[in-house]
């Protein structure tokens, strides 16, 4: 059974600080990794994708992938109250080019 695990939180971070979100996955040969943001009652919104080991930066967001340790993380710099949401980690298994396996999400609260 392929699994994606996330700490459900809530993770509370002061405004302007760095928020660090983590995700582990069980399928050693997973290929593609995604971070989505989901506001309550809304659909997931893609923030970052990462496919190879290392860091990938996009504005205030940095995704980090370590395939040997089977984890992927998301850093949010200069956190804003509008970043308060549930952050979902999703992984494409090696034996599937089509579906995503989802974590349950981490609820992030940015305190002004």
Partner 1 sequence: EPEVTQTPSHQVTQMGQEVILRCVPISNHLYFYWYRQILGQKVEFLVSFYNNEISEKSEIFDDQFSVERPDGSNFTLKIRSTKLEDSAMYFCATRQGNYGYTFGSGTRLTVV
- Judged by the rule CB under 8 A, the positions of this chain that interact with partner 1 are 32, 34, 36, 42-46, 49, 51, 88, 90, 96, 98-105
Residues 6+ apart with CB under 8 A from 79: 13, 14, 15, 16, 17, 18, 19, 110
Query: At 83, is the secondary structure helix, strand, or coil?
Result: helix
Question: Residue for token digits 């395939």?
Answer: 67
As measured in angstroms, the least distance from the Cβ of 22 to partner 1 is 17
Give whichever of 17 and 53 is closer to partner 1, judged by the CB atom. 53
CA separation for the pair 10, 16 (Å, rounded): 18
As measured in angstroms, the least distance from the Cβ of 79 to partner 1 is 22
Give whichever of 98 and 112 is closer to partner 1, judged by the CB atom. 98
As measured in angstroms, the least distance from the Cβ of 49 to partner 1 is 5
Give whichever of 3 and 78 is closer to partner 1, judged by the CB atom. 3
């Amino acid at each position: 059974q392929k699994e994606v695990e996330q700490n459900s939180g809530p993770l509370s971070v002061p405004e302007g600080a760095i928020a660090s979100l983590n995700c582990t996955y069980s399928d050693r040969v997973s290929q593609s990794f995604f971070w989505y943001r989901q506001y309550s009652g809304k659909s997931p919104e893609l923030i970052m994708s990462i496919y190879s080991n290392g860091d990938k930066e996009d504005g205030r967001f940095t995704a980090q992938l370590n395939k040997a340790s089977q984890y992927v993380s998301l850093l949010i710099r200069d956190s804003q109250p509008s970043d308060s949401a549930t952050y979902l980690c999703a992984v494409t298994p090696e034996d599937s080019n089509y579906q995503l396996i989802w974590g349950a999400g981490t609820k992030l609260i940015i305190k002004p």
